[in-house]
Amino acid sequence: RKAHRQVQEKAEALKNEADEARKALEVCIRNLNQAEADKKIFDARKLQIKTFFDEHEQLNAIVGRLAEIYGASGSEKLKTVITRRFKNAAADICVHNERKTALETYLGQLDENNPAAVPRAVTEIVENLRRSNHFKCMCGSEYLKAADEERRGEVLERLPFLPYAVIVSEGFASLAGDTHFLEKYFADFTTPIVSMQTVESGENICGGILFTGDKRRLYVDEKAVSEEKEKIQKQISEEASALKRLLDQQETYLADLEQVHYFMNRYEKVYAQKLSELDALERRNLDEQKAAEAMKTEIERLTLCIEAAHQAEDRLREEEKEAAYKCTVSEKMIEVRGELTEAV
């Protein structure tokens, strides 16, 4: 019986040992599964960062080529150079656009037999006279525009300044005595005001006075007007070409500037951070790999322990059966001896 109890105690101890080993094995397997799941996450993040570095390398090469083209070193200087060129192109666009607009306006004036641009002062004087003093008046250019070629030639021969003058058809004598109006500021130059009577009378009031300028022939010579139009159209075409070239340049500058901005903000600014993150991931991944290898070794050890415990249990069961048999035989023999003793 004592041997039988000892076998049972050993079997119980082996069972407990196997149970503990199984629990430890389950923990190791869970930890290993978690480590493998974490590794997938680490690998995905590493792939993202390595993709970032690949893209950084490609964009860095592009920005490097732009730096060579613009003659700048470093992305910050490159951004400054491109920005300055963009602003310069914008300023040049304004200049050429103003020139083109002025030429187109002038071409329209030629089509209307009005080649001379009306000074702003003339327009303001006419509006002031009409509004404040109720005079009947017009710009000299308006008169010339409405006249036929012969009449324009005759009038300009006597009054070459007429395109830049004001013509008063009624109230000229009254205006001549209005010192307050005549001394009013309209421009830094004197604006001629002439009566309609003088314009139409044929009187020459400019004897002994010479005038410069090339616009007179454009009022009286159709060939000169045609040549002038051709010249202006050519200049308009040249300005349009210059504008297109500048707009294309500006578009290129803008695209290059956006490329540099994107590289600086999306890649260059966080490059060191990504490098540090990748290094940390590599080190953590190495630690995780070591831990995983240790867990695999432990799983193998625990598996062997459990198998050994099962084998020992099997052997103890055999020993237990044998001990139980011996115990039964022994008890039977004792019982038989007792019966024999009683018989004697």
pLDDT digits 0-9 by tens, 245-278: 999 999 999 999 999 998 888 887 777 788 777 7
The predicted-structure confidence for 57-93, as pLDDT tens digits, reads as follows: 888 899 999 999 999 888 899 999 999 999 999 999 9
CB contact burial 245-273 (16+ within 10 A = b; e otherwise) = ebeebbeebeebbebbeebbeebbeeeee
CB contact burial 107-132 (16+ within 10 A = b; e otherwise) = bebeeebbbbebbebbeebbebbeee
Nearest CA among 191, 119, 109 for reference residue 145: 109
Q: Please report the pLDDT score of residue 83 as a whole number.
A: 94
Q: Which two tokens stand for residue 113?
A: 């037999």
Amino acid, single-letter form, for residue 90: A
DSSP string over 186-226: S-SS---EEEHHHHHH-----TT-----S-HHHHH-HHHHH
The predicted-structure confidence for 301-336, as pLDDT tens digits, reads as follows: 777 777 777 777 777 677 666 666 666 666 666 666
Nearest CA among 278, 152, 136, 123 for reference residue 224: 152
Q: Strands 166-170 and 193-195, how do they pair?
A: parallel
Report the C-alpha gap between 141 and 139 in whole angstroms.
5
Measured in whole angstroms, the distance separating CA 60 from the mean position of its chain's CA atoms is 17
Report the C-alpha gap between 27 and 145 in whole angstroms.
104
Q: Please report the pLDDT score of residue 240 as a whole number.
A: 96
Q: What is the phi/psi pair of residue 137, to 5°?
A: -150, 170
Q: Which two tokens stand for residue 37?
A: 């799941």
Overall pTM surpassing 0.75 (yes/no): no
Q: Which two tokens stand for residue 9?
A: 């105690």
Which DSSP helix (H) or strand (E) runs through 291? helix 271-343
The pLDDT mean for the chain works out to 83
Nearest CA among 44, 43, 24 for reference residue 288: 43
Task: Decide: residue 309, CB within 10 A, 0-12 exposed, 13-18 middle, 19+ buried.
Answer: buried
Contact 206, 160 (CB under 8 A): yes
Alpha-helix residue ranges (DSSP H) falling in 73-165 = 75-111, 120-128, 140-146, 149-158
Q: In what order do the strands lie in the sheet with 166-170?
A: 136-139, 166-170, 193-195
Q: Please report the pLDDT score of residue 2 as a whole number.
A: 56
